[in-house]
Amino acid sequence: MDFNFSEEQKMMRTMARDFADREVRPLAAVLDAEARYPYETVEKLAQLGFMGIFVPPEHGGSGLDQVSYALVIEELSRACAATGVIVSAHNSLVCYPVLRFGTDEQKRKYLAPMARGEAIGSFALTEPEAGSDAANQRTVAVADGDHFVLNGSKIFITNATVAKTFIIFGLTDPPAGVRGITAFLIERDTPGFVVGKKEDTMGIRGSGACRLDFDDVRLPRESVLGEVNKGFRVAMATLDAGRIGIAAQAVGIGQAALDESVKYAKERVAFGKPISNLEAIQWMIADTATEVAAARCLTYRAAAKKDEGDNITLEAAQAKLYASEMAHRATHRAVQIHGGYGYTKDFPVERLYRDARVTEIYEGTSEIQRLVVASQMLK
Ligand code: COS
């Protein structure tokens, strides 16, 4: 692994940081308070090429690597974690599997509008009874001539409030269980497909997470992504890559917690001097700074390995596990350093604390990451 970034990677990081400072951070508290999707930001993100980061130029994207992607997600999340996950889910959970598993026709149809930000992508695997146990799908897709008829529901689906392109998983061979699941590409205006209630979540409130319902939705066979009954592999391979994005998001949140902690510790006076003089505060800042750096290394390592074309099941799970738990600790300390003020909405650490929490849950809980890591160690 090369620790030196290329000129292109450095340029992406600078672009993302400048944009995040100028356009993303000022909106973060408003999106959170109003649970509002940042429509206006997404258009600008597309102009910068951030909505098609690894989509090749022939399909209208930026054609960049996973390390650049991680840098962009980290910088956006440092300013607003909801904006970070919007970009992450779109790129890694939708653009990426279309690129990897899609037919030429599917790539032609879906990638360019997604890279231009005209069609936001949404990935729908989770159901009321299928979270960690992702194979326990209840959505069924029954073959009917050259179509499948889809019935069921999905919950907690990021981007769904605005998305036009969805990847949905359904059972095409229920007795086969995990080997009877198929992935489908489906468009928002398909009859019988309803984007339902917006989820009222603790954090990441601007990400447009919704429930989805399918009532006799007819999908042509051409909408199958990958192969019939091989959808679980599509889901797992996609989540391996997606976990780099969540790790990067958690690093961004951790860095924001560190930034806020340092700033406040230098300003706040107690016992006659800035609290940065107190060893109790210094140790918290030292621990956060060290853990952010460690999480960053794990995240870039997973991204660099992915760029080399290697399997990253282990590295992505380790990065996601450590970075998300780091973000939890970092934001907990940041609130503690701010004392009573940290418990109010007058300071950003209150939002960071809530936003960090879901990084330990979505795209696989910490328990699932430990299970994945252990299974890789013990195989
Ligand atoms: N990449 C590609 N294929 C994979 C894979 C991976 N990382 N992990 C598993 N698979 C394949 C296996 O090879 C197997 O395929 P075959 O039957 O063709 O050999 C199939 O998937 C089933 O594998 P396994 O038996 O290990 O699956 P389990 O049902 O035991 O599930 C866990 C494994 C728990 C790891 C999986 O269900 C999981 O990741 N759950 C969390 C889901 C999640 O992240 N949810 C959040 C939703 S998105 S916000």
Binned at pLDDT 50, 70 and 90, residue 24 comes out as: very high
Assess whether the C-beta atom of 362 lies below 6 angstroms from ligand 1: yes
Q: Is-catalytic flag, 75? A: no
The residue-averaged pLDDT of 314-320 equals 98
CATH topology of domain 7-119: Butyryl-Coa Dehydrogenase, subunit A; domain 1 (1.10.540)
Eight-class DSSP state of 333: H
Query: Above 80 in pLDDT, residue 22?
Result: yes
Q: How far is CA 243 from CA 177, 238, 314, in A?
A: 24, 9, 11
**What pLDDT, in 10s, does the model give residues 34-82?**
999 999 999 999 999 999 999 999 999 999 999 999 999 999 999 999 9
The residue-averaged pLDDT of 6-19 equals 97
Binned at pLDDT 50, 70 and 90, residue 3 comes out as: confident
Query: Above 90 in pLDDT, residue 95?
Result: yes
The residue-averaged pLDDT of 207-236 equals 98
Q: pTM (2 decimals)? A: 0.97
Q: What residue spans define the domains of the chain?
A: 7-119, 122-231, 232-378
Binned at pLDDT 50, 70 and 90, residue 157 comes out as: very high
Ligand 1 center–CA 235 separation, angstroms = 8
**Same fold yes or no, 7-119 and 122-231:** no
Assess whether the C-beta atom of 374 lies below 6 angstroms from ligand 1: no
- A 10 A CB-CB count for 121 gives 27
What is the dotted CATH code of the domain comprising 232-378?
A: 1.20.140.10
78-114 burial by CB neighbour count: b if 16+ within 10 A, else e?
Answer: bbbbbbbbbbbbbbbbbbbbbbebbeeebbebbbbbb
CATH superfamily of 122-231: Butyryl-CoA Dehydrogenase, subunit A, domain 2 (2.40.110.10)
The residue-averaged pLDDT of 24-37 equals 98
**What pLDDT, in 10s, does the model give residues 227-250?**
999 999 999 999 999 999 999 999
Assess whether the C-beta atom of 240 lies below 6 angstroms from ligand 1: yes
**What pLDDT, in 10s, does the model give residues 339-365?**
999 999 999 999 999 999 999 999 999
Ligand 1 center–CA 368 separation, angstroms = 10
pLDDT of residue 252: 99
pLDDT of residue 261: 98
Query: Above 80 in pLDDT, residue 106?
Result: yes
